[in-house]
Amino acid sequence: MERYWITVVSKDHIKRGVEGGFMQANHGKPGPLKKLHVNDWVIFYSPKVTYQGDEKLQAFTAIGQVTGEDIYQHKMADNFIPYRRGVHFYPGKEVSFIPLIPQMEFIKNKSAWGYHFRFGFFEIGKTDFELIRSKMLGEQHKTLEIKS
């Protein structure tokens, strides 16, 4: 049974993941990646445009499905060797999160909507996922199948 996840990552960082067909979570920690299974969906929320910058974005910037069981490390710097997992990304449009807040079931307190995102990685229900997926992928989302 597929599950639905949101992970928090700046837009500049998820761009690298989309180009390389991988994801990292919570600054490269393996824990969140171990919760994922093949065919699970992951939506990437970007609070900022760049990791180092201050420009707010508050949008969903990528969407994909987990493609393999392997969790692997990739050396990005001598002191940073994050864990990764393979993801097939679908071409979709960036979607602002703010207009969706009233409809999101996982946000119980609409005035404190950012609370969940502080954890960096969390599961959402199918209803919330379908709403976000429909906004990002349009009608094509109804016929998508995992790409190997």
CATH number for the domain harbouring residue 83: 3.10.590.10
Provide the mean pLDDT of the chain: 91
Q: Is residue 122 part of a domain?
A: yes
Q: Is residue 120 part of a domain?
A: yes
pLDDT category at 96 given cuts 50, 70, 90 is very high
CA 124, chain centre distance (Å): 11
The pairing of beta strand 95-96 with beta strand 121-124: unpaired
* Residue 71 confidence (pLDDT): 95
The pairing of beta strand 83-89 with beta strand 41-48: unpaired
Q: Is residue 148 part of a domain?
A: no
Rounded mean pLDDT, 73-91:
92
For residue 48, list its beta bridge partners: 56
pLDDT category at 122 given cuts 50, 70, 90 is very high
Residue 119 domain boundaries: 4-143
- Rounded to the nearest 5°, which phi and psi values hold at 86? -70, 135
CA 102, chain centre distance (Å): 20
Q: What's the total number of domains in the chain?
A: 1
